[in-house]
Amino acid sequence: MDEKIILNLSLKYGLKNAFDYGKADVGSVVGKVIAEYPNCKKDMKKTMQLISETINEINKMNKIDIGQGMKEFEYPEIKQEREGLPDLEFAKGIGIVTRIAPNPGGMLTLGHAKQSVICDEYAKKYNGKFIVRLEDTDPKTKKPVLEAYESIPKNIEWLGCKIHEIFIQSERMEIYYEYAEKLIGMGKAYVCKCPADIMRKNREEGLVCECRNRTIKENKEEWEKMKTIYTEGEAVLRIKTSMDHPNASVRDWPAMRIITEPHILQKNKYRVWPLYNLSCPIDDHLMGITFVMRGKEHELNTIKQKYIYDYFGWDLPHFKESGILKLSDKFAHKSDIRKAIADGEISGWDDIQLPTLDAMKRRGIKPEAIRKYMINIGIRPVDSKLDWDILFKYNTELIKDEAEHLMFVQDPVEIDIESDIYYISKKDYDDNINKEVRLKQLMNIKISNKKCDKLPDKKSKSIKTINWVKENVDISIITSRGEKFEGKTEKKVEFFEVDKIVYFEKIGFARLDDEKEMLFVLSY
């Protein structure tokens, strides 16, 4: 048994596994190693040890290093990732129409950025159109936020996307009513008044309820009552499907329901609202959408929506599955963010602890860095975890040349050097009492209490170099973890304007957030 062969195969398949799934798994790699090198079975204990050690090392790597490591092996997707998005076979020679359809129940996150950038990139690649559609037809459980209607398009444009058209679904209610009535008139939809538990049981057992057998005339009358008389939960409009479909949720799925809660834009103008699987295919068809990037969770929705396409004789768009970009566990969903804002845990949608695009702007993350990251992820059917290290690397490449380098002294302590006043950090002061240190790019001193002696200028690895300031300004620096540092920096900072990028020695890149309070936000 050759251990070098096992290590090489473990590396080959471990890197691929980590590349596809965000983290390598020993169980997924073992079988591939055995299949290619059966001799390793002679000592499975040693084989497992070697594979486990390799996988542990791989899981310490970031996505860039994993990609670089894979270059030694023949993996076509690496070349594809470096060169950008793969071609869409169906789109050759035609202008495609793509869309992103967020719910304005909150501001956009980096998860939305992925879909926005990729759809925009394809629209540009094929001389097509990129549409933004705000899906706001649930005024009860997905309450729209008024600011989001303006913020969402601005954020998408900030990413470098060209928006050709913007639609708001709540302004298209008459269209949904029109098509709902057409479906009723075709005998493809009916008003159901069965209690929810009874209908659920019927669908599970494939049984037809008595409402389904009403005449078209009767259903039209019931539909008018939905719009005027019936109360919330009393009736829904259902799409007729095959009652023996293998998935019970597809059977006679609900298309419209009554919601009496006022809509933030439409107030009480409408009381019957479309569900996603009715409004989505109607809009996709009428807007000419030809390419839909969707998550795996939408497979079932597509099955339901296909009934609408079939009933009206419409062509289906081309679908491409893409895994979710997993963000922080704490603020992964808009509902989590809304609750945190309501509880006072965070200041708002641009709080730098969040993965929102507004927060990225405050942290000084450039849209070009986000765009590059999303294109390099591309469309893969598996979920991936946001790799902050890679995003920060891309961002550093963009801001390093424009950043002003400054000294920063945290918790400053005043020291006297030959009757001149300087400031160093309390930590540097406490750690170096009676020791020789070098004030960076200035001079060597011996720290003895608050009065320090200037020493002959010399450089040595044994002498610690510390930050210092003389003429100074008080500033604050906050981090994405909610930490706040108080201290002093060089006086020239007073001439900087908001959005100025600086590099604080030994701390990192930061953006000036408020010039009056001299508040900086760390990019890391």
CA distance 108 to 327: 12
- DSSP-derived secondary structure letter, 209: P
**The pLDDT of residue 330 is above 60:** yes
Using DSSP's 3-state secondary structure scheme, residue 210 falls into helix
Torsion over CA: 255, 258, 262, 265 (sign): positive
Greatest CA separation found in the chain? 101
Cα torsion through 507, 512, 515, 516, rounded to 10: -60
Using DSSP's 3-state secondary structure scheme, residue 95 falls into coil
Q: For the ranges 118-122, 229-233, 466-470, 504-508, which has the lowest average pLDDT? A: 504-508
Joined tokens for residue 185: 């008139």
Joined tokens for residue 186: 């075709």
Distances (CA, A) of 440 to 412, 417, 424, 457, 461: 16, 15, 11, 12, 13
Domains of the chain: 3-64 (no CATH), 88-325 (3.40.50.620), 404-522 (2.40.240.100)
Q: How confident is the model over 175-229, as pLDDT tens digits?
A: 999 999 999 999 999 999 999 999 999 999 999 999 999 999 999 999 999 999 9
pLDDT at 387: 87
pLDDT at 80: 40
Q: Find the angle CA(225)-CA(228)-CA(232) to the nearest 5 degrees.
A: 85
pLDDT at 64: 65
Please count the helices (runs of H) and the strands (runs of E) in the chain.
Answer: 17, 24
Model confidence band, residue 153 (pLDDT cutoffs 50, 70, 90) = very high
CA distance 389 to 62: 7
pLDDT at 82: 44
The answer to whether the beta carbons of residues 293 and 322 sit under 8 Å apart is yes
| Model pTM score | 0.82
pLDDT at 78: 41
The contacts of residue 181 (CB under 8 Å, 6+ apart) are: 220, 223
Q: For the ranges 81-90, 120-129, 281-290, which has the lowest average pLDDT? A: 81-90
DSSP 278-316: HHHHHHHHHTT--EEEE-GGGHHHHHHHHHHHHHHTPPP
**The pLDDT of residue 331 is above 90:** no
Q: Residue 297: how many CB atoms within 10 A of its CB? A: 9
Q: Taking all residues of the chain, what is their mean pLDDT, rounded to a whole number?
A: 91
pLDDT at 83: 57
**The pLDDT of residue 70 is above 80:** no
If we measure between CA atoms, which residue out of 281, 290, 278 comes closest to residue 91? 290
Q: Give the percent of the chain with pLDDT over 70.
A: 96
Q: How confident is the model over 78-109, as pLDDT tens digits?
A: 444 445 788 898 887 678 999 999 999 999 99
- DSSP-derived secondary structure letter, 52: H
pLDDT at 17: 82
**The pLDDT of residue 77 is above 60:** no
The answer to whether the beta carbons of residues 61 and 18 sit under 8 Å apart is yes
Residue whose entry in the numeric block shows the structure tokens 């259902």: 238
Buried/exposed code over 31-43 (b: 16+ C-beta within 10 A; e: otherwise)? ebbbeebeebeee
Q: How confident is the model over 20-68, as pLDDT tens digits?
A: 767 788 887 888 888 778 778 778 888 888 889 998 888 888 766 777 6
More confidently predicted of 337 and 366:
366
Q: How confident is the model over 435-485, as pLDDT tens digits?
A: 999 999 999 999 988 899 999 998 788 899 999 999 999 999 999 888 899
The contacts of residue 344 (CB under 8 Å, 6+ apart) are: none
Q: How confident is the model over 241-285, as pLDDT tens digits?
A: 999 999 999 999 999 999 999 999 999 999 999 999 999 999 999
